[in-house]
């Protein structure tokens, strides 16, 4: 991670860490990099900007757009649109894009991340170059008044993305009742329109954003209300997205929560059976449940494991030419369809498996059995080099020795928040809770916020 960029763009509390000044500086810096790459072309460079429903979104969009325009780049404002929709529109307009969103984080946070004209997140080397211009503003582009950029507002973005979604997976949802929780975020209204257009009866939750209720006790990070609604409405499935709709968590017809690992297992096995799983490979992260490893071995599917972060999953997918990868949290990448995690594309694929198999989600989810996992997030003052602290390293090693081959422990810094995440996995949940408590107590004592 760089000085400003984390694992998923520049993140922070709005108007505190992520200020209008920083957004403006980011706009100038990314514009300078973009202009330098395309200085031989006659046409004026442009960049699309999408955002989620956070109250701070318009402030940051205005500042980012001003930075772009000050360096001679036109800003095309798409308004509220899911992150994967921006990736699609980068390819449609053949220009890079920016997304103003903090994904699954609370409304007070926000973030800015960038995509290339091919719809891929920027590599570390480009982010480092952008950071260099933030720290050395004297070197940014300063065109003459006649060469300044301007802002264009377009309202076709959501329709283009919706048409893209409808074209991806051929599935008839007639007779199916679906409950969709859009997390009061960027996909509010989109999921309902998509599934209804394919014949489903749709019940909507989290579809009335007001700027501060994004991810608030709803969406993929809080699927409990969705589970209750699925049972209450006697629906066949529940679909939970996060604030920018790049994650998917499901609920089966019995009200059971189905996480990203189970969805990956279901789709990977189906794709293998149909000859669609490139190189017979599924890319996962170190946070994936051991039950997924067991299930994929039984199905003869090879696993590639990366560190946490959908950008690292995608990098390995491209390296191994894999067609499917993702995270337990619900970031699922169907690389033959979109270049980033896409909750609605993922839902369509899962619904297609249900349609082809004739099986309910509860039956499909039996493909794997999750081993107990205990995950605790510890707020810290600083998360870097935590493993170099002798006391923290000692207690982690003690827990590893206790578990040995009966399970595992993983401690890692969050890529988007000032947290250390402590996860233990094994057969005895009560033992895991005690072991995690040992580690978190030492972390809180040494680095607690």
Residue 417 belongs to domain with CATH number: 3.30.310.50
Question: Are residues 145 and 279 part of one domain?
Answer: no
- Is 60 part of any domain? yes
Mean pLDDT of 415-443: 91
Question: Residues 270-307: pLDDT tens digits?
Answer: 999 999 999 999 999 998 999 999 999 999 999 999 99
How many structural domains is the chain composed of?
A: 4
Q: Are residues 204 and 68 in the same domain?
A: no
Residues 18 and 137 in one domain: yes
Highest mean pLDDT among 302-316, 348-362, 366-380: 348-362
What does pTM read for this prediction?
0.89
Same domain, 133 and 14: yes
Average pLDDT for the chain: 94
The whole domain housing 419 covers 373-447
Per-residue pLDDT at 218 exceeds 90:
yes
- The whole-number pLDDT of residue 185 equals 98
* Domain harbouring 314, CATH code: 3.40.120.10
One domain for residues 253 and 263: no
- In a domain, residue 3? The reply is no
Q: Do 58 and 146 have their domain in common?
A: yes
Asked if residue 416 belongs to a domain, the reply is yes
Measured distance between the N- and C-terminal CA atoms of the chain, rounded to whole angstroms? 21
What's the pLDDT at 42? 55
Mean pLDDT on 146-167: 95
Above 70 in pLDDT, residue 257?
yes
What tokens does 271 get?
Answer: 């794709």
Q: Is residue 164 domain-resident?
A: no
Q: Which pLDDT score is estimated for 1? A: 58
In a domain, 167, yes or no: no
Domain identity same for 341 and 436 = no
Give residue 405's pLDDT. 81
- Are residue 25 and residue 146 in the same domain, yes or no? yes
Q: Which of 133, 159, 185 is the last residue of a domain?
A: 159
| Final residue in a domain of this structure, among 109, 135, 159 | 159
Co-location of 395 and 442 in the same domain? yes
Read off the tokens for 441. 């107590």
Shared domain check, 336 and 278: yes
Residue numbers annotated as active site: 103
pLDDT of residue 32: 94
pLDDT, average across residues 193-210: 97
Pull the structure tokens for residue 189: 């209204």
Residue 2 included in any domain:
no
Strand, coil or helix: 30: helix
Residue 405's contacts (CB-CB under 8 Å, 6 or more residues apart) are none
Cα gap 442→391, rounded to integer Å: 7
Instruction: Name the band, by pLDDT with cuts 50, 70 and 90, for residue 6.
Output: confident
What is the C-alpha separation between 167 and 438, in angstroms, rounded?
Answer: 51
Q: How many residues in total does the chain contain?
A: 449
User: Is 82 in contact with 100 (CB distance < 8 Å)?
Assistant: no
Query: Does a structural domain hold residue 355?
Result: no
Is the pLDDT at 230 greater than 90? The verdict is yes
Last residue of a domain, one of 220, 238, 258: 258
For residues 224-236, average pLDDT: 98
Same structural domain, 32 and 154: yes
Q: Same structural domain for residues 15 and 149?
A: yes
Tokens of 193: 């329109």
- The verdict on residue 289 lying in a domain is yes
Q: Is 397 helix (H, G, I), strand (E, B) or coil?
A: helix
């Amino acid at each position: 991670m760089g000085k400003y960029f984390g694992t998923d763009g520049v993140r922070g509390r709005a108007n505190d860490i992520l200020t209008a000044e920083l957004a403006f500086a980011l706009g100038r810096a990314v514009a300078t990099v973009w202009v330098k790459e395309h200085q031989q072309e006659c046409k004026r460079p442009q960049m699309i900007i999408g955002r989620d429903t956070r109250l701070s979104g318009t402030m940051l969009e205005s500042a980012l757009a001003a930075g772009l325009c000050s360096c001679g780049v036109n800003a095309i404002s798409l308004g509220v649109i899911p992150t994967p929709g921006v990736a699609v529109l980068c390819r449609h307009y053949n220009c890079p894009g920016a997304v103003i969103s903090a994904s699954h984080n609370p409304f007070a946070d926000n973030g800015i991340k960038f995509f290339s004209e091919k719809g891929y997140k920027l590599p570390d080397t480009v982010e480092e170059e952008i950071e260099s211009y933030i720290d050395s503003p004297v070197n940014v582009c300063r065109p003459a008044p006649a060469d300044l950029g301007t802002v264009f507002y377009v309202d076709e973005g959501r329709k283009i993305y919706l048409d893209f979604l409808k074209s991806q997976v051929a599935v008839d949802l007639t007779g199916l009742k679906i409950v969709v929780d859009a997390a009061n975020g960027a996909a509010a209204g989109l999921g309902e329109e998509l599934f209804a257009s394919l014949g489903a009866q749709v019940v909507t939750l989290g579809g009335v954003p007001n700027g501060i209720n994004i991810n608030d006790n709803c969406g993929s990070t809080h699927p409990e209300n969705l589970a209750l609604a699925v049972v209450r409405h006697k629906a066949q499935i529940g679909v939970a997205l996060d604030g920018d709709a790049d994650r998917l968590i499901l609920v089966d017809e019995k009200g059971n929560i189905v996480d990203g690992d189970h969805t990956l297992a279901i789709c990977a096995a189906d794709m293998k059976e149909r000859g669609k799983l490139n190189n017979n490979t599924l890319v996962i992260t170190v946070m994936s449940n051991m039950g997924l490893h067991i299930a994929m071995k039984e199905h003869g599917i090879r696993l590639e494991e990366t560190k946490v972060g959908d950008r690292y999953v995608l990098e390995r997918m491209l390296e191994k030419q894999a067609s499917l990868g993702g995270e337990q949290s619900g970031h699922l990448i169907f690389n033959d369809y979109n270049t980033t995690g896409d909750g609605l594309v993922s839902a369509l694929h899962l619904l297609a498996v249900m349609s082809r198999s004739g099986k309910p989600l509860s039956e499909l989810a039996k493909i794997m059995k999750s081993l107990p996992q205990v995950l605790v997030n510890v707020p810290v003052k600083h998360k870097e080099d935590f493993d170099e602290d002798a006391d923290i390293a000692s207690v982690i090693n003690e827990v590893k020795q206790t578990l040995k081959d009966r399970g595992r422990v993983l401690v890692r810094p969050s890529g988007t928040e000032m947290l250390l995440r402590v996860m233990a996995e094994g057969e005895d949940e009560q033992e895991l809770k005690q072991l995690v408590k040992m580690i978190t107590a030492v972390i809180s004592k040494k680095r607690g916020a």
